[in-house]
Amino acid sequence: MEKLIEIKNVSASYDTKMVLNDVSLTVWRDDFLGIIGPNGGGKTTLLKIMLGLMKPISGEISFFDNGNPVSSLKIGYLPQINPIDKRFPISVFEVVLSGLASEKRRFRNFTASQQKQIHQLMAQIGLASLAERAIGELSGGQLQRVLLARAIVSHPQLLILDEPNTYVDKMFESQFNDLLGEINKNTSIILVSHDIGTLLTMVKNVACVNEKLHYHPGTELSDEWLDQTYSCPVEVVRHGDFPHRVLKKHDIG
């Protein structure tokens, strides 16, 4: 397997509070990695370090492209908190188009090919009818779908989604999961979620973060680990044919 990101012995803190303690993790090319853990366990901090938004107090992070060390990767990111001002006078099409800003030649318009690429993606993600709509007219779910399109339009090497269940409405959920499966054919994905049941049906590997990090190849999760990590019973309830997967027990500490 080919490395995309390698994190070695990383620790991070806010003031005197240790959030990540000697964490190591490898993200592989074409991986679909699920990250779970309790609130305040360090999940978002780990994402910030990968994105270069926060520096660890110790340890190192390395990036690779085709097996060669590089200074950075093309990363698409959709945070849990909506970062856009809905009062800004911009259309849905223009928001998605802004995801190609780094590929636009200086003082030139976007090419016809780039604009076609936008229209194709918007049709795929169910936004075609909203292309000319002002973002201020969108529902919260529609807007988050637009921001997802912006995050993936440039075909990033890695797509990071922080709590996607907060911006995917039930009508779009099945289509969203299928879309991520298609994206994962060419793009590595990291998905952070509290919805453990849904996450385990989608991802290939799991990282459990609660100050320390425990990596599970595959998707096998034990009741003992959930109880110890979340400090309360965790129960997954699904109707219909839902695959059961159990993560092997590991030491906590």
User: In which element (H, E) is residue 3 found?
Assistant: strand 3-14
> What residues does 56 pair with on adjacent strands?
none
Into how many domains does the chain fold?
1
Q: For the purposes of burial, counting CB atoms within 10 Å of the CB of 81, is it exposed (0-12), middle (13-18) or buried (19 or more)?
A: exposed
Does 225 fall in a domain?
yes
The model's confidence at residue 46, banded by pLDDT at 50, 70 and 90, is very high
Does 26 fall in a domain?
yes
Structural domain boundaries, residue 240: 1-74+157-166+186-252
Six-digit token string for 120: 């194709």
Does 111 fall in a domain?
no
Alpha-carbon distances, residue 37 vs 104, 168, 184 (angstroms): 39, 20, 23
Does 20 fall in a domain?
yes
| Dihedral angle, C-alpha 243, 190, 45, 78, nearest 10 ° | -110
The model's confidence at residue 230, banded by pLDDT at 50, 70 and 90, is low
Picking from 86-100, 175-189, 238-252, which range would have the lowest pLDDT averaged per residue?
238-252
Does 21 fall in a domain?
yes
Q: Cβ(41)–Cβ(12) under 8 Å?
A: no
Task: Please state the pTM of the whole predicted model.
Answer: 0.82
Q: pLDDT tens-digit profile of 131-173?
A: 999 998 988 778 878 888 999 998 999 999 998 776 666 666 7
Q: Read off the CATH number of the domain in which 219 is found.
A: 3.40.50.300
